[in-house]
Structure 1
Amino acid sequence: MKQALGFALLILSVGVGAAYADEIEAPSRIESVTVFPVGAEVTRVARVAVNKGEHTIVFRDLPAGAVEGSIRVEGNATGRLEIGSVDTRRLFVPRADAQASASERRRLENEIERLRDQRASYEAEAQSAETQKELIGNLAQLPTRPAPAAGNAAEENWQAVLALITSASADAQRVLQSAQIKIRDTDRRIEDIEKQLREIAPERTERTEARVFVVAHAPLDADITVRYQVAHASWTPLYDVRLATGSKTVAPTLDLTRRAAISQRSGEAWDNIELVLSTTRPTAGASAPELETMIVDFEPEMPPPPPLATTRRFSGERQAAPQAGGIVGQYEAQDMVAAAPAPEPVIVEERAAEVVQAPFHALFAVPGRTSIPDTGEMKRVQLGSDTLEPALTIRTVPKVDAKAYLYAKLTVPKGAPLLPGAAALFRDGTFVGSGHLPLLSPDEEHEMGFGIDDLVRVRHAVSEQKRGETGLISTSRTDSRHYLLSVKSMHERPISLAVFDQVPVSAHQDIKVELTGRTAPSRQDVDDKRGVLVWEGTLEPDQEQTVEFGYRVSWPSAKSVIYR
């Protein structure tokens, strides 16, 4: 029967001095990876046969980016196996395909050399054609030269000479053009091969070696598990939020699909692995920050500025030599008042803020096996989906935009919380924009906008606006404004309505603001924003609701006011 051995080992900075019988190479493979929002934990497995005695199991396939101090070794064996220590170091190891890479590198280098020789030959052809064109150009100047003396030479057949010049010039131009085309094509081929040469990986690569000292009490087989963390990996939550607005007989629904975008540059490819996504942040710290004593005291009095030194300069006076320990020359003591040095200024320090995330933990196991390359490219996986029953609301701000916007209020289902992430919003199958989901716990409510609702008509009008003065003895100025807002629904089902507007807020006790109008707001100072009002209700199909409101501002007539 197998005897399970679980070991949790601290990484030692120095090796154990005990002797060992031999070294056992342990090629391992990545079995699973747990990715955190920042970083990841990789699990490698290897099966080794161990004889009785002391041995060192060597793992040379850990990446160079394995976080020092995070390597842990555990496993199961068919007999009693004890682990004494685990030592790690960085080293360069030959690549498994180093011989093939070297052969390919030599082939590409030879091809580049051959192409450069060809290019030199084509350049010689082009130079020869250029020389021929120069000679032909010289021949073309013969008819312009003075004719020889009479009787000294036969008359030249210039027509034949010109035909020869034309033919030879065309041939030279064709040779030159052909050579230039060959040079251009050769340069492109050389550039392509040099690019391939740069892409060939080096013959050696940096890795982390783990040496595990073990003692076996009998020949046995062991399944060794090595866990370590890497820094250059992360995952980000993504969401698809699809709203179906429904109809007169069909209630609206909201499909919430959770996704994750994973990327990594850990130095090794994750091929055919079990992938788990965790919300834990190992790099965020495990303990809360501690506070130091904060003292309030009177501000120290600043020392008076040093008096200006007064000097009397007499004609013919010279600077005296500096005194012991002095820096600058001085005049005679009776002619100068020494100034005390100003205290060294103290730089004001600003205490940095620290952010502590609320403690929660969730794991998402991706079904099946997946592969993530070591290129930084995003790998998207689906984590799950939920169908919710949203509450639809019409929200409008007629003062700014006379349009109605459709909102859906969702309740987070039980289970894992929703992490902050980008959301793609769809309404009745049409993409309407992008949004963002904050951190939401189960059973928490959240509203999301789904764009303009064309089935709702909104109007905004100024029904009255006037300024004047009141009072006999102490006059004051007034500014009165009244508005009429109307909202009409053409939906087939009743829908909630929220109309937002505002009144000015006084910044001085002499400025008075009075809310007027027939329609009282449902709430004031919405979301702790002073002056923001909201009228809430329910719109029935084909129903139109109106809001009549306004405000009256008064202030002393001797002053003026501004709205900002």
Structure 2
Amino acid sequence: MTQAALPPKFEVHTVELVSVESSKITSVSLYSGRAEITRTYTLNVPTGQNQVKISGLPNVLDHSSLRVEGRGAAAIHGVTIASTPIPPIPSTSDALVALEHKQAKLNKAVARCQKAISSLETFVGSVIIGKYEAEGEKLDDKLLELEQLLKEVDKDIITERARLGGSNHRNHELGQTATISVFAETGGDIELVLIYAVDQANWSATYDIRVDMQTKEQPVALIYKAAIWQSTGESWEDVPLTLETVTPTFGMSLPELDPWRISVWKPSPPPGANVFSARAGFGGGGLKRQRMLRKSSAAFTAEDGEDFSDEAVGCALYCDEPPMQHMQLGIASQGAMSATYKVPGLISIPSDGQEHSVTIVQLQLDATMSRVSIPRAETRVHLKAKVKNASEYTLLSGNASVYVDGSFISKSSVPAVSPQESFECPLGLDPSIRLTYHPVEKKASKSGFYSKTATQTFTQRITIHNTRSIAIEDLKIVDHIPISEDAQITVKLVAPALTTPSNTGTLGGKGTRPDPVKVSEGVVAQWDGAEEAEAELTSLGKDGKLNWVCSVPAQGKVNLQLQWEVASPASITVTGL
């Protein structure tokens, strides 16, 4: 039986659609480096077997990710996808031919008008002046009109040529065609939903961090933004957008451990020797690509093939699915390692590869301010904040612009921060605190009768001046004393009088955390790192670093003193001091 003689129910009908013209994007889920697009098509199919061909899908579409869902009294039998042959570049069009013809006529008219004006000026001596003025004015007006028309035609020609080139460019970017076999018991409207993943789309977190130094409670306003770009070939026009913080991973199969072979060392052969060698092959477990698919009983993927029976793999299309709900601001889902954010309203992102900024949320956060200076290296005071993410939002790592009291201070970065975690944010320099690192004072002496010992005492003074009208709390000043690398040389800290865990009793390698030493009113000293809960206690002071934590009154000064002794046999010379 030939195809022409088949009953209507068994005839194969072809329905051709152009994706961007016949559908609308109803959802975009944007990951890092990848996006999942949901497109909805409404079409009319006759009774029987139908081949629905949807052209103009992006070249960056991941074929293995394509699946089809739908609604209506029909069943999907198969899905395939392939590249569409690119048509030749159109060099002209009927519109362009007409415009070029009009351009040529206008050029001739302009030339005639210019020639008429030139002739009139040549014979001006033989005509009445009044008549010359009247005729000349008419020709001038006509010439201006013709030149204006010529400019408009030139512009239209440029636009038409750009359209022809742009049409070909779009064909290059949207060169995939999906063919879907649909069997309809009865003719009528059905709805197909294509869900597919595309590359060339990305989003990254960016932040504005605004600090109000006059506010003690929640002094940090963190504006969490998304920088979005895509060059998939499809423009996302008025789409609901979901931002995913999880990064899809590929090749997560367990690696293989190759044999670890040893043998007797053999010298290299002399130059010029003819050497034959063989290498053992290394077995490699092929990386299996993890597909970014949501499994559904009402979905059919392009990998499932196309020649199947209704009973085996036909996917029913249901018409009672609930309508899409309006997206709201906030977190769509929250896991231990990732979160999903729904951007409020609808958003448009053209396929131009440019960054487009969207605000996710603005958070008011608590922060502990601190100031740190290392005057031996530089006498400037650095201001930083330890910010607690008390929100339910997962913060991705990203660049941040820092503003203090309304003024832009610096560019910084925010690390990946889970809810209830804290992170440190540098806030630039505090010019209101001035440090003076005085020249070191040195005294030398000798002792001993038979074996003389040379002792050198060093004193370093530091002056802190707070020029602000309010007191400064928790200013940390870090300095260090030298470390001996020879048993003949001993270094002893004199002031401040700090003890180490090894001096306060150790047991099983664990030391007792030494208390800070009060130096003066509002000033305590300790080994650097002692304030950190995870510090290795037995290593405190091994690097010679110590710090003072100071409270400096308004318009006041604080003086610090660091003193240490270096003792060695008088017969040797100590270097490095």
Within the candidate set 199, 202, 210, 1:234 is matched to: 202
Q: Considering only aligned residues, what root-mean-square deviation do their CA atoms show, in Å?
A: 4.3
Aligned-partner SS, 2:93: helix
Which residue number in structure 2 is paired with residue 150 of structure 1? none
Asked whether the equivalents of residues 218 and 364 of structure 2 are also in contact (C-alpha less than 8 Å), the reply is no
Task: Report Cα offsets for 1:161-181 as digits up to 9, x if no partner.
Answer: xxxxxxxxxxxxxxxxxxxxx
Correspondences of 1:57-96 after superposition (within 5 Å): 57-77=52-72, 79=73, 81-92=74-85
1:379 matches 2:356: yes
Distance in 1 between the 2:451 and 2:99 partners? 98
1:492 match:
470
- Contact 2:61–2:197 under 8 Å retained in 1: yes
1:480–1:551: 8 Å Cα contact kept in structure 2?
A: yes
Normalised by the length of structure 2, the TM-score is 0.65
Pairing of 1:388-407 with structure 2 (within 5 A): 388-407=365-384
The answer as to whether partners of 1:94 and 1:203 remain within 8 angstroms in 2 is: no
Name which of 505, 522, 525 aligns with 2:483: 505
Contact 2:381/2:430, CA 8 A, preserved across alignment: yes
Q: Does 1:427 align with 2:404?
A: yes
What letter is aligned with 1:52?
Answer: T
**1:105/1:200 contact within 8 Å kept:** no
1:326-350 C-alpha deviation (Å, 9 max, x unpaired): xxxxxxxxxxxxx975565989x9x
Could you tell me how far 1:511 is from its partner in structure 2? 4.5
SS at match of 1:201: helix
Contact persistence 1:525–1:531 (CA under 8 A):
no
CA distance in 1 between counterparts of 2:90 and 2:348 reads: 26
Equivalent of residue 361 in structure 1, options 312, 316, 338: 338
What is aligned with 2:527? 523
Give 2:182's aligned residue. Answer: 214
What corresponds to 1:180 in structure 2? none
Structure 2: give runs of 5+ residues left out of the alignment: 1-8, 112-149, 288-334, 499-524, 537-541
Residue 25 (structure 1) aligns with: 16
Shift of 1:223: 2.2
Counterparts in 2 of 1:481 and 1:30: CA distance versus 1, 3 Å:
same
When normalised by structure 1's length, the TM-score is 0.66
CA distance in 2, matches of 1:370, 1:66: 21
SS in 2 for 1:69: helix
Structure-2 separation of matches of 1:109 and 1:562: 85
Moved more, 201-210 or 404-413: 201-210
Give the Cα–Cα distance (whole angstroms) in 2 for the partners of residues 455 and 512 of structure 1: 39
Report the Cα offset of residue 57 of structure 1: 1.9
Query: Cα–Cα, structure 1 residues 220 and 393, in superposed 2: closer, same or farther, change >3 Å?
Result: same
Change (3 A) 1:190 1:364: same
Cross-structure match for 1:292: 257
Displacement after TM superposition at 1:449 (Å): 2.0
* Structure 2 counterparts to residues 93-492 of structure 1, below 5 A: 102-103=93-94, 105-106=96-97, 197=161, 200-201=164-165, 203-204=167-168, 205-206=171-172, 207-246=175-214, 251=217, 253-282=219-248, 284-285=249-250, 287=252, 289-292=254-257, 295=260, 297=262, 300-303=264-267, 341=274, 344=277, 360-466=337-443, 473-474=450-451, 480-489=457-466, 490=468, 492=470
- Figure out how many residues of one structure are paired with residues of the other and give that number: 434
Letter in 1 for 2:219: T
Whether 1:533 and 2:546 are equivalent positions in the alignment is: yes
CA deviations on 1:389-414 (whole Å, 9 max, x unpaired) are: 22221222222222222222210123
| Structure 1 unmatched runs, 5+ | 1-17, 121-185, 309-338
Percent identity over the alignment is 24
Partners in 2 of 1:376 and 1:234 — Cα distance? 10
* 1:519 and 1:548 in contact (8 A); partners too: no
Partner of 2:562: 549
**1:65 & 1:208 partners in 2: Cα distance?**
9
Alignment-derived partner of residue 296 in structure 2: none
Query: Displacement, 1:253?
Result: 1.3
- Once residues 516 and 109 of structure 1 are traced to their aligned partners in structure 2, the CA distance between those partners, rounded to angstroms, is 94
Match of 1:43 among 32, 35, 38: 38
**Bigger Cα Rg:** 1
Rounded to whole Å, the distance in 2 between the matches of 1:195 and 1:555 is 88
- When residues 525 and 493 of structure 1 are mapped into structure 2, their CA distance, relative to the original with a 3 A threshold, is closer
